[in-house]
């Protein structure tokens, strides 16, 4: 049993074919996938997969921290798998490839300063960086 299946089982959630199809699409992806893209890929495994099921599955996976929502360069939201621990996402502006990098304590200093200046109590944050991956940088230098 895989880690994601164990996490579903531990929360008394069933491991269904639609959930397998959604997870399979995400496991194979190198860049964040929009729900429609997950549907298209997932239907290759489970032909009766529907868009509403994809959204419901993504919401479940978000609650279980199996996936994270990512803001893509095209303005749409996509989804990527998460790693254990606190991580953020770096997206390539050219090819869309997503990689995670660990979150650090240095962000806590900024959060504390913002709280002090605004009176807000920060309970969640989203840090996402955009750049160009090494492959896309090399492609530019080869041209």
List the domain boundaries for the chain.
3-142
What class has domain 3-142? mainly alpha
Kindly report, residue by residue over 8-63, the tens digit of the pLDDT: 999 999 999 999 999 999 999 989 999 999 999 999 999 999 999 999 999 999 99
Query: Residue 141: pLDDT band by 50, 70, 90 thresholds?
Result: low
Show Cβ contacts of residue 51 under 8 Å, excluding neighbours closer than 6 positions. 35, 36, 39
């Amino acid at each position: 049993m895989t880690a994601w299946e164990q996490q579903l089982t531990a929360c008394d959630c069933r491991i269904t074919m639609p959930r397998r199809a959604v997870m399979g699409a995400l496991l194979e992806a190198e860049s964040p996938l929009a729900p429609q893209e997950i549907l298209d890929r997932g239907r290759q495994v489970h032909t009766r997969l529907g868009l509403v099921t994809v959204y419901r599955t993504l919401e479940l996976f978000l609650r279980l921290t199996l996936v994270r929502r990512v803001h893509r360069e095209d303005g749409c939201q996509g989804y990527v798998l998460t790693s254990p621990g606190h991580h953020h996402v770096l997206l390539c502006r050219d090819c869309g490839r997503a990689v995670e990098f660990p979150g650090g304590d240095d962000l806590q200093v900024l959060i504390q300063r913002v709280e002090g200046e605004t009176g807000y109590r920060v309970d969640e944050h989203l840090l996402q960086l955009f750049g160009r991956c090494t492959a896309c940088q090399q492609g530019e230098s080869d041209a």
